[in-house]
Amino acid sequence: MRGRTVVAVLASVLAVLVVQFASPTRIARAGDESDPVAAWDSDWRGALDETVRVHADFCVAWSSECARSVATARLRILRIDPEHEATRTALGYVRAKGEAGAPVWTRSEPAREKIRRLSDRWPEETASLAAILRRADAAAAAKFAALGRSAEERADAGGGAAWTERARRAWRTALLWDRENEAANRAIGSPKFEGRFCDPGDVAFFRARQARRIAGEEEMARTSVPEDVPIPAGSPLDAAGLTRSAFATPNVRLETSLDRASAFHLAWNADSGARLLARDFGPSSASADAVRAARIYVVRNAGEARTLLEKGASWKAADVERALGAKLESGCIGSGAWFVAGETRDELEDRTIGVLVRIALGASEGGADPSVEATWIERGVADDLRSRLDGMVVPFPSGHGVKWPRGPDKAFALARRMVETDDDVPLAGLASASEEARSSPRWAAKARAFVQFLFERDAAAARAFISGTKTGQPEGAEALDAEYRRWVVETL
C-alpha cells in the first residue's frame, strides 16, 4: 500500500509540473520588433534551463523510490547540460585534472558499482515515473520544435545561414527528447523505416538488421532433417561404452549418450546453428568446412564426461582431473573431435552452439590458449546465434519434441543501460580485466550487442575484426567503441 500511496502523491504533484512545463512559451518570430537574435537566443537558453530544471526536479522527487530508473534519467539531463553539477554529483562524478591540466569530470569504479546496484522499489512506481517522463520529454520536444519553426521562418525571410543553423540545432534537440516528434523529423527530412522515424545515417543499420533476420529465417526454413547414422566402431564414445544414438545432417554430426528424441532435437538445433554460421562467415569458407568435418560427442553429466575423457579420448588421469576440476563443460579432445557435457537440454544446446562457434572461428583448437579477445568475441558470436535460434519451432513431427522460447533477450537492455549511464565496458579494457569481470553479464552483454553492431555496420569488416582477435585486440577499437555506443542509443 505504501508504494501505491507514494506513487499517487508523486504522480499528482509532478503532473502539475508537466502541465506547467508544457504550457506554450512565447517564441520570437519573424516580424517581431525586438532584437531577433537576442530574443531567440534568450528563448533557447530559457528552454534549455527549463527542461533541465523540470527533469532534475523529477529525479530528486523519485530518487529514493526509483533509484535505478532515476540514474538513467539523469544522464538525459547531461545531453543538453554536460556541466550540470547536481546531476554529475548524483551520478558519482568528481572534478579532476585532465591530461592537459584542465578540469574534467571523472567517476571511480566504486562510484560506478554503487550506481549499478541501485534498484527501484515497486514496478508500479517505475511505470508511473516513466509515464510522467514521457510527457515531460514530449513537452520539451515541443518547445524546441517551436524554436526550430521560428528560426526557420527567420531563415526563409532572408535571415541567412545563421538562422538555418539555429533551426537545425533546435530540431535536433527536439529529437533528443522525442525521437518521434513529427515536426522535427519532417523538418530535417528523417526517413521512416518500418513505420518509425530514424536518423538518415541509421537506415543502413536497420536495413542490415532486417536482411539478417530474413536471411536467418530462410536458413532455418531449410534446416535439414537429422538422420540416424551408424555408430563407427572404435569412436571415442563407443570406446567409452556410452553411445546410445547418433544423428547427422550435411552440416553437423553428433554422437550422444542421449535418448533418440533428445539427440534428434539437439542435432536439429546444431544444424540450424551451423547454417547461420555459414551464412555469416561464408558457406564455402574454411570455417564452414571445419564445422562439417567435425565430430561432436555429447554426454549427459560430469560422470559421463570423465568416462569419455579417460576411456574414449585416452586422456591421462592428471589431465582429466585438471579439466573436471576447472569445470570443463566442452572442449577439443583430438583433431576435429569435440565433447560437450550438460545435464539439461538448454545446457547441451548452448554448449553445442559454443563448440560450433569455436570450430568455425578456429581460435580455440587446442594447444596454446586463445587470446582474451578471441574468447570474448567467440562468446558474443555464440550468444548471437543462440538468440536467433531461441523461439524457433522444430518444423518436424511433434514426436521429436517442440522447441519453446526461453523468454526475451536481456542482453540488449543491459547493453543500452550501460551506455546510457556512461558505464559501458571499453574494448581497450578487455585484456586487463579480471577473468571474473570478463565472465560477468556486463561483458557478455557487450559481446552480444557488439557482434550485432559489427555485422549491421559491415559484414565483411565484421569477419575481419573477428578474425583479428586471434592475435589480440584489433586496431581501431577506440573508434569502433564510439561508433558502437552511438548505434546502441540510436537503434536499439
What are 110-142's pLDDT values in tens digits? 888 888 888 888 888 888 888 988 999 999 999
> Which residues partner with 332 through β-bridges?
338
Calpha distance 376→438 (Å, rounded): 8
Question: How does pLDDT run across 463-479, given as a tens digit for each residue?
Answer: 988 888 877 777 778 88
Q: Helix 345-361 to helix 260-281 angle, to the nearest 10 degrees?
A: 30
Beta strands 253-256; 295-299: pairing state: parallel
441 touches 434 (CB < 8 A): no
154 touches 36 (CB < 8 A): yes
> What integer pLDDT is reported at residue 20 of this predicted model?
52
Supply φ then ψ for residue 341, to 5 degrees.
-130, 140
> What integer pLDDT is reported at residue 369 of this predicted model?
66
Q: In the predicted model, what is the mean pLDDT of the chain?
A: 84
> What integer pLDDT is reported at residue 200 of this predicted model?
85
**Cβ-based neighbour number of residue 37 at 10 Å:** 14
> What integer pLDDT is reported at residue 404 of this predicted model?
42
Kindly give the parts of the chain with pLDDT less than 50: 1-10, 13, 16, 364-367, 393-406
> What integer pLDDT is reported at residue 138 of this predicted model?
92
